[in-house]
Structure 1
Amino acid sequence: MKGITRVQCACLLLLLLSAAVLAQTFEEFKKEHILPEGSKTCNDMMKKINKENTCKAINTFLKEKVASIKALCEDKKNDTISHTCDIIDCKRTSEEPCKYKNLDLKDKKVTIKCENGLPVHLEKAKHQGF
């Protein structure tokens, strides 16, 4: 009986750790998906989110203020919401060095995952025109 309990505990621990690793925080969402003030090009913006020795293939930035995006999830626990806004899609054109092209899009619908009243994930946009 003790062997089964240990295996069950180990499986539960592994499951919980996996969920924690996959979860995204509001700070990560903000860094990866809200257009930083003063940023002009995808090449500049992507330098801040690419990890060492990697070039993310594509990324979407919302052209809105942090407070506006945060307010969308204010009364939501674990909901997915739709929002229409201007965005910038960045698509990788080369890996060494990492280079990107910009696509400015107006009034595009995006889907945002809210957790505990904060935006934490931007669903892959279906509108990307690359």
Structure 2
Amino acid sequence: MMKEIMRFQVVCLLLVLLSATVFLKNVKDRYEKFIKQHIYENMTADKCDAEMQKRKISILPNGKCKPTNTFVRANNKTVKSICEGKGERYGEMTKSLQRFDIVVCRLKPRAKKPPKCQYSGTKISQKKIIIKCENGYPVHYDGDIDHSEN
């Protein structure tokens, strides 16, 4: 009887460890996707079209062109630090304490059909960004906040 209880406990422990590993892998996969879609330290407004194509983020799963995408002009470590204490709660999200330059890429009006998605960009200076953090990793870009807002 004691042997069966110990086996059961070991199986339970293994299941907990396995599910934690799967969860963490999922978070890291979402973090990698976040980096691909939103982080580029040297991004400029004139690179929108090329970067959207190069990173293969211009076409949505439904087959349509992605209408907008925002790039944060910072490195991965700086943005990740928002989820590690350099940010503050903002509803369900986290708001950066520091300001970032961002580049917003918008789909050109006459280029709305894949594979011909074409983008123009606008550089915007000094915005606080709003992201979703999971287990210390940014996994979703939710928006930015203007100077007039905190």
- Whether the 8 Å CA contact 2:70–2:104 is kept in 1: the answer is yes
5+ residue gaps in structure 2? 1-22
Task: Give the structure-2-normalised TM-score.
Answer: 0.59
Deviations 1:44-65 (A, max 9, x none): 1111212374310001000001
- Pairs within 5 Å for 1:23-42: 25-35=30-40, 41-42=47-48
Residue 121 in structure 1 maps to residue 140 in structure 2: yes
Task: Provide the C-alpha distance between the structure 2 equivalents of 1:99 and 1:69, rounded to a whole number of angstroms.
Answer: 27
Structure of larger gyration radius: 2
2:143 alignment partner, SS class: coil
Task: Provide the C-alpha distance between the structure 1 equivalents of 2:125 and 2:47, rounded to a whole number of angstroms.
Answer: 16
- Whether the 8 Å CA contact 1:79–1:115 is kept in 2: the answer is no
User: Cα distance, 1:126 vs. partner?
Assistant: 6.2
One-letter code of the match for 2:129? V
5+ residue gaps in structure 1? 1-19
- Pairing partner for 1:50 from 58, 65, 73: 58
Name whichever structure is richer in helix by fraction: 2
Question: Across the two proteins, how many residue pairs are aligned to each other?
Answer: 105
Partner of 1:95: 112
One-letter code of the match for 2:127? K
Partner of 1:15: none
Aligned identity (percent) is 32
Task: Give the structure-1-normalised TM-score.
Answer: 0.67
One-letter code of the match for 1:66? N
Partner of 1:109: 128
Structure 1 runs, 4 residues or longer, greater than 3 Å off: 36-40, 51-54, 124-127
1:73 alignment partner, SS class: helix
- Whether the 8 Å CA contact 1:36–1:45 is kept in 2: the answer is no
Task: Provide the C-alpha distance between the structure 1 equivalents of 2:118 and 2:107, rounded to a whole number of angstroms.
Answer: 6
Task: Provide the C-alpha distance between the structure 2 equivalents of 1:58 and 1:79, rounded to a whole number of angstroms.
Answer: 20
Residue 86 in structure 1 maps to residue 101 in structure 2: yes
1:103–1:74 Cα change, 3 Å? same
1:41 alignment partner, SS class: helix
Residue 69 in structure 1 maps to residue 92 in structure 2: no
1:98–1:34 Cα change, 3 Å? same
User: Cα distance, 1:38 vs. partner?
Assistant: 7.1
